[in-house]
Amino acid sequence: MSKKRFDFFHEVAVPKGAEGWEKMYPYFLVPQPEGRDAEDSRLWFADSMHWSRAVHPFDSIGAEAVYLGVGVNSTRSIALPTSLGLDVRVFNGFVYICPLPIEDPEEIGKRAALFGDRAGFYFQNWPDLYAKWKEKMQASITRMEGLTFEPFPEFEPEEVIKQGWGKSASWQVIENYHRLVDEFFLIWQYHFEMLGLGYGAYMVFFQFCKEAFPEIEDQTVARMVAGVQGIMFRPDEELRRLAKTGVAAGLGSILSSGKPVEEVFASLDASEAGRAWAADFEATRDPWFNYFSEYGFLHEQKTWNDDLSIPLQGIARYAVRLMAGENIDRPIEQLAAEQDELAGEYRALLNPEEAKRFDDALNLSRAVFPYIEEHNIYVEHWSHSVFWRKVRELSRTMVTIGFFKDEEDLYHLNRFELDQALADAFQSWAIGVPPRGAAMWQEEIAKRRGIMAALRATSITPAYGIPPDEVTDPFAVMNYGVTTERVTEWLGANDAVDGQLLKGIPASPGVVEGPVRIIRHENEVADLQPGEILVAPITAPSWASAFSVVSGVVTDIGGMMSHAAIVCREYGMPAVVSTGYASSRLKTGQRVRLDGRNGTVEIL
Amino acid sequence: MLTIRFDEQTSLDTRLVGGKALGLAQMTQSGLPVAPGFTVSTQAYFRHLEESGLRRRIIELLADIDHGDIHALEAAEATIRAWFDEGDFPPAILAELTDAYDDLCERCTTHNISVAVRSSATAEDAKGASFAGEYDTFVGMRGVEEVALYIRRCWASAYTSRSMAYAWKNGIEPSEVDMAVVVQKTVNASAAGVMFTLSPLTGDRSRIAIEATYGLGLSVVGGEVTPDRYVVSKIGLDLVEKVLGEKAIEYLDGTTVADVEPARRSQYCLSDDQAVALAKLGKTLERQHGHPVDIEFAIDRDLPAGSNVILLQCRPETYWSGRHAAASAAPIVNAAQAVIENSLRHLKH
């Protein structure tokens, strides 16, 4: 493998129409000439799990925050012994990341000593620290909720005078923008507070199983640990619950009518039972529908609350099944029993010493797993939904005060540029002149819209640079599914473009044949037909209700531990993740054979 | 005690019947599907050696032999084999063998039933030294005369140059190997092969590996064909892998080899259901034995689908089992330390 490499960033031509793309992002996120040697000598893989499309300048705040969070935790706080954080670049609009393994034994030793102490503290106090973590997250969410972005008035409100403030009330817009950014960086530090440790602990069990049972499937190890209950299942559970109460109240035909949201609610409003159900639905929305169909890293992504047709569609699917006499309850007790039985059977194959370690490692994994599974709900779903809602409020205000023409304009500025624009808007308003840079920005935004269109039309390249002989970074392997094998296959795929076989990571067992449907946007989920195989850049756990329709799932990226893979297994849906190219190589309607145990997708 | 049926209590005495027969007796007595048969005990072997004077002659012949001299060993092998071929059974052994063979014919309701004559040594199958394939097996013998000759050939196989070298290498004198011989109805095999209740490649205890081909299993054991390969998970009994083999030839009986026509080569010789049914038997056997086992099986044409899987032999798996029993694992006292050690080990790989 040492001879084979991916393209270097500087060798790649700029997509036509995207010239000047690099000026849109903070300078440190895009390749710089002085970093070329370091960039060339390492592996950069696309983080399409978080950013499946080219990111708008403002949305690149996520790339900053996520990799600040990983870095500060891995490198500086718990001092992971064998790896630093993940370096990050935006290239041609896509986000690329780079694992940074530590190989110097002295350095490892120094960090291991610190890690032993610090990680030890977390493991000893895990449940308490997790409870505290939830409180911190809730507090941050509440603070973000409270941030307001009122348009600048003609005159300051009375209290500025009568209470002797002596400063502008509208200064809050600037302040709240800074606070919002700070909260966003804060929640992303929280996100990784316990995640690296969680993965580390899980890896102990994973590695033990791999050594004791060299041929065990990754997904089998995960099945022994994964929770069968938890808030990650709640949004979908709420859909099932609402479908059940709806059908029980005789509203099944209304709910499954397939009509637009307004018409469905108008029909419901006509009866007492319908109104009661609608009230229940309304009460469920916060927090359970603060749920992104994807992960909420791009401003245009919608939560169920932003587009109620998504949860209604899920409810409709469950209602149809209920009316057909099906039981839609997840058999939780049975799942838990099966999980224990599975672990018990593996344990029985071991000698007594091994069995003891198996138990220890399994218990440790099960202790940390709720965090691994649930943190997304707090961060990616709940926090992000508030964050983007607040950014939208700011955007509306910027339009109201005449700085931007369109609510989409804001996202074409990066977070530093937006800070300048706000300063301009506020100071100009204070002085009493029109914003000095509005026209300049209008011209720039028009140009950037063209660049974004060109970048979005480009299909993603899975990796750049020189891969290491072996990929060992725990995040790369566990979360992104970027393994040595996968990198080798990506390299091979460059040679054989017409390959009839895509290889990925087996994420959920089962073999299925059928036509594929490429889903790039959550609003395309409704197009899925029974028996189709869903192919997407990432698997989105919130598509769970669609899983009763499709027969399999294929994604470009994602590891065994990606939240989506866990949920796919849970729903018994054959899945292959981390194929690198499936969503760009396959075409809707094409027939494939998906083998979820071997991790292959064969074009038929 | 010169011949013992698989379903008799004394058939569980390994000193009398040897490892292979013991396995068959255990399987028979626990209701597993085994082709009917009996064992010519080690007592018969001793008696034959004593009464024919063979023991003394063999010991003398081997006394001064150079263990590393292939030519000398080969010469000794030929001499000893000739002695066994020429020396008829003592009358008592012949009488019991005739009774046992007639009884088997009666049980199978077939006159002059075709049988397999198979070595079952007591040093054989000892954990740590498998003696796998060191001693001879003959298939397709009919009538007492022929069976008697091949029983003596099995005995003689304790003194082939190859098996003597193997015995010495494991610190055993060839003359101390106690040879019993299994006489068992020949399976009318449409397919046959070998099953390990762990992965022979990786030692994975959660896997069951099956190799099978058309006809008798000789070509699998002898490495004359690339068999079809099946891997079944022990837990859940899912067929996790199957790889089509070449299967260019098949043994119709012990000596008749036929080409397999291309159309059949490209088909799997076992159905998925048969592979899973076999694995289920393997799992049962492993549980009974308390450790992984190595099993020979066949699909018998004479039997109806669903109950046509026949187990031919079951022995303890020796290579990986020893390693697993000795595998050490430390309990996790300190989670952080375990994570560190794990990440370092990961790095070393």
Q: Which residue among B327, B332, B347 places its CB closest to the CB of A82?
A: B347
B-chain residues within 8 Å CB-CB of A115?
336, 339-340
Q: From CA A463, how far away is CA A493, in angstroms rounded?
A: 12
Q: How confident is the model at residue A497 (pLDDT cuts 50, 70, 90)?
A: very low
Q: Do A214 and B204 touch (CB under 8 A)?
A: yes
For residue B205, the chain A residues in CB contact (below 8 A) are: 212-213, 349-350
Smallest Cβ–Cβ distance between A353 and the set B236, B328, B335 belongs to: B328
d(CA A78, CA A72): 9
Specify the pLDDT at position B125: 44
A114 touches chain B (CB under 8 A): no
Q: A-B interface: how many C-beta pairs under 8 angstroms?
A: 119
Element (H, E) at B138: strand B137-141
Cβ B42 vs Cβ B331: under 8 Å: no
How many Å lie between the alpha carbon of B152 and the closest alpha carbon of chain A? 41
Segment B10-29 mean pLDDT: 89
pLDDT at B349: 46
Mean pLDDT lowest for which of A292-296, A299-303, B126-130, B141-145?
Answer: B126-130
Work out the average pLDDT over A355-366. Answer: 96
CB atoms within 10 A of CB B276: 18
Q: Domains, chain B, ranges and CATH? A: 3-185 (3.30.1490.20), 189-325 (3.30.470.20)
Give residue A540's pLDDT band: very low, low, confident or very high (50, 70, 90): low
pLDDT band at A464 (very low <50, low <70, confident <90, very high): very high
Return mean pLDDT, chain A. 91
Return the percent helix, strand and coil in chain B, to nearest 5.
45, 20, 35
Give the best residue of B334, B343, B349 to mutate against chain A (max A CB count within 10 A). Answer: B343
Q: Give the contacts of A89 (CB within 8 A, at least 6 positions apart).
A: A9, A29, A30, A31, A39, A44, A95, A96, A97, A98
Q: Say what the pTM is.
A: 0.78
Average of per-residue pLDDT across B252-266: 88
Domain at A499-603: CATH architecture: 3-Layer(bba) Sandwich (3.50)
Residue type, A515: P
pLDDT value, residue A563? 55
Distance CA B74, CA B162 (A): 9
Residues 6+ apart with CB under 8 A from B249: B215, B219, B224, B225, B257, B258, B259, B260
Distance from CA of A111 to the nearest CA of B (A): 10
Q: How confident is the model at residue A1 (pLDDT cuts 50, 70, 90)?
A: very low
The number of beta carbons lying within 10 Å of the beta carbon of residue B38 is 29
pLDDT given for residue A437 in this prediction: 94
Q: Which of residues 203-242 of A touch B (CB under 8 A)?
A: 203-204, 207-208, 212-217
- Find, in chain B, the residue whose alpha carbon is nearest to that of A354: B329
| Lowest-confidence segment of A167-181, A251-265, B19-33 by average pLDDT | B19-33
What was the pLDDT predicted at A431?
97
Taking the CA of residue A603 and the nearest CA in chain B, the distance in Å comes to: 20
Write down the pLDDT at residue A496: 44
Whether residues A120 and B207 touch (CB distance < 8 A) is answered with no
What does the pLDDT read at residue A498? 47
List of chain B residues whose C-beta atoms are within 8 Å of the C-beta of residue A509: 238
Helices (H), A380-437: 384-400, 415-431
Instruction: Tell me which chain A residue has its CA closest to the CA of residue B232.
Output: A215
C-alpha–C-alpha distance, residues A374 and A198, integer Å: 12
Give the tens place of pLDDT for each residue, A44-54.
Answer: 999 988 898 89
Tens of pLDDT along B305-343? 877 899 988 888 888 888 888 888 889 989 999 998 888
Q: Which residue in A has a C-alpha nearest to residue B320's C-alpha? A: A212
Q: Do A201 and B335 touch (CB under 8 A)?
A: yes
Of B342, B331, B338, whose CA–CA distance to A119 is shortest?
B338
Give the C-alpha separation, A143 to A183, whole Å: 8
What is the mean pLDDT of the segment spanning A408-423? 98
Is there a contact between A207 and B345 if contact means CB atoms under 8 Å apart?
A: yes
In sequence order, what are the residues at sequence separation of 6 or more whose Cβ sits closer than 8 angstroms to the Cβ of residue A477?
A471, A483, A559
Q: Which two tokens stand for residue A365?
A: 């994994």
Which is nearest to A290 in space by CA: A308, A264, A316, A315? A308
Q: Are A543 and A311 in contact (CB under 8 A)?
A: no
The shortest CB-CB distance from B332 to any of A346, A361, A470 is to A361
How many angstroms separate the CA atoms of A304 and B348, rounded?
A: 46
Partner B contacted by A80 (CB < 8 A): yes
Kindly compute the dihedral angle of the four CA atoms of residues A126, A130, A132, A134, in this order, to the nearest 10 degrees.
180
Q: What is the pLDDT of residue A493?
A: 63
Instruction: Please report residues of B whose CB lies closer than 8 A to that of A200.
Output: 339, 342-343
User: What's the average model confidence in pLDDT over A287-311?
Assistant: 90
Instruction: Select from B210, B199, B212 the least CA-distant residue to B251.
Output: B212
Question: Which residues in chain B have their CB less than 8 angstroms from residue A356's CB?
Answer: 329, 331
Å from B148 to nearest chain A CA? 43
DSSP state, A551? Answer: S
User: Residue B278: helix, strand or coil by DSSP?
Assistant: helix
pLDDT of residue A564: 59
Tell me if A116 and B334 make a contact (CB, 8 A cut-off): yes
Please list the residue range(s) of chain A that carry CATH number 3.50.30.10: 499-603
Instruction: Determine the residue among B339, B341, B344, B348 to mutate to test chain A binding: the one whose Cβ has the most chain A Cβ atoms within 10 Å.
Output: B339
How high is the pLDDT of residue A505? 78
Sheet of A591-595: strands edge to edge? A501-503, A600-603, A591-595, A511-518, A533-536, A552-555, A575-577, A505-508
How far apart CA A459 and CA A438 sit, in angstroms, is: 33
Cβ–Cβ under 8 Å, residues B123 and B131: yes
Evaluate if residue A506 carries a pLDDT over 70: yes
Q: What's the rounded Cα separation, in Å, for the pair A209 and A211?
A: 5
User: What tens digit of pLDDT does each residue of A144-156 get?
Assistant: 999 999 999 999 9
- Rounded-to-integer distance, Cα B32 and Cα B29, Å: 7
Min Cα separation A426/chain B (Å): 51
**What band does B49 get if pLDDT is binned at 50, 70 and 90?**
very high
Residues pairing with A535 in the sheet: A518, A554
ipTM over 0.90: no
Are A82 and B344 in contact (CB < 8 Å)? yes
Lowest mean pLDDT of A277-281, B65-69, B253-257, name the range: B253-257
* Helix, strand, coil fractions of chain A, as percent rounded to 5: 55, 10, 35
- The band of B269, judged by pLDDT with boundaries at 50, 70 and 90, is very high
Amino acid B1: pLDDT? 82
For chain B, say whether A356 makes contact (Cβ under 8 Å).
yes
Residue count (chain A): 604
Higher pLDDT, A118 or B201: A118
> Cβ distance A601 to A534 under 8 Å?
no
DSSP letters, A176-189, are: HHHHHHHHHHHHHH
Question: CA distances (Å), A85 to each of A70, A94, A246, A367, B227, in order?
Answer: 6, 19, 48, 24, 49
